[in-house]
Amino acid sequence: MKKPKYPEAFIGDPWDMLAEEATEIVHARFKAIRWGLQGGHGYVKRDGNPSPREQIIQELGDLLFIVDVLTIRGEITRDELPAAKDKKWQRLCELFGASHVDDWAKKRGRYA
């Protein structure tokens, strides 16, 4: 393993990191809106610069890692997440109807 870049630095609060990662997802999505998911005409893809889609995927992975950290630390539980996802499904169904939500998600039934 490589020598740490910042061995003396405080890594930070995972709740703060969760907000940071969510913000980075938003930023990556705005790049995708501007350039297209694959980084169309005018998008500079050099020096390992990933496409906007690849950036979104990486930021989602970063966010999920922080969710795992919060779970490991006991600050949230895996049991809380399916209930929260179900509430989102219910809110979308109230707004758009269950069949539209299911068609949109390409999946039938609950999403927990």
Residues 19 and 64 in one domain: yes
Residue 112's domain comprises 77-112
The pLDDT of residue 6: 87
Number of domains comprising the chain? 2
The pLDDT of residue 49: 78
**Closest by alpha carbon to 55, among 78, 88, 33?**
33
10/75: higher pLDDT = 75
pTM: predicted TM-score of the whole model, two decimal places: 0.80
Residues 67 and 81 in one domain: no
**Closest by alpha carbon to 31, among 55, 48, 49?**
55
CA dist 19 to 8, 12, 25, 100, Å? 23, 12, 10, 30
Residues 24 and 53 in one domain: yes
| pLDDT tens readout for residues 22-32 | 999 999 999 89
| pLDDT tens readout for residues 39-90 | 876 676 666 778 889 999 999 999 999 999 999 999 999 899 988 989 999 9
Residues 22 and 71 in one domain: yes
Is 89 in contact with 83 (CB distance < 8 Å)? no
User: Residue 2's pLDDT band (boundaries 50, 70, 90)?
Assistant: confident
99/91: higher pLDDT = 91
| Domain contains 2 | no
Q: Is the pLDDT of residue 112 over 80?
A: no
Residues 93 and 40 in one domain: no
